């Protein structure tokens, strides 16, 4: 990476540093992690590309290429970003499931109150 940095103009170095800072900011919030993970899902990173139809397969492969580019950028900035995003999303999803269970229990309790 130092070879690349040496070839960047001052403007490019600033832009690169600002982009890295922006990724740090995004990954510092739960909302940012949710959005970034959603983008990776839209890029079909977690799906099989092959659909039996070359047009659909090629389209999905193109989407996946964009997702791989995003993951590569995360790795370039900090190799811990992508793995920590996956771990954080597992925790976030568990919290979402717990919140959904709590909401369902509350609604069930409210329904019981109406019957009695």
3-state helix, strand, coil in the chain (%, to 5): 85, 0, 15
pLDDT digits (tens, 9 = 90+) for 34-62: 999 999 999 999 999 999 999 999 999 99
Residue where the block lists tokens 């580019």: 69
Please give the model's pTM, rounded to 2 decimal places.
0.79
Alpha helix stretches (DSSP H) within 28-80? 30-42, 54-77
Question: Which pLDDT does position 113 carry in this prediction?
Answer: 61
The pLDDT tens digits along the chain (116 residues) read: 455 557 899 999 999 999 999 999 999 999 999 999 999 999 999 999 999 999 999 999 999 999 999 999 999 999 999 999 999 999 999 999 999 999 999 888 876 665 65
């Amino acid at each position: 990476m130092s070879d690349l940095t040496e070839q960047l103009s001052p403007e490019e170095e600033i832009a690169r540093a600002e982009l890295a800072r922006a990724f740090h900011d995004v990954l510092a919030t739960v909302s940012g992690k949710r959005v970034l993970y959603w983008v990776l899902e839209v890029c079909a990173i977690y799906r099989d590309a092959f659909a039996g139809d070359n047009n659909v397969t090629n389209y999905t492969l193109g989407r996946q290429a964009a997702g791989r580019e995003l993951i590569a950028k995360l790795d370039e900035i900090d190799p811990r970003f992508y793995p920590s995003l996956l771990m954080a999303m597992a925790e976030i999803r568990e919290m979402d499931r717990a919140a959904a269970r709590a909401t369902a229990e509350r609604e069930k309790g409210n329904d019981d109150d109406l019957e009695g």
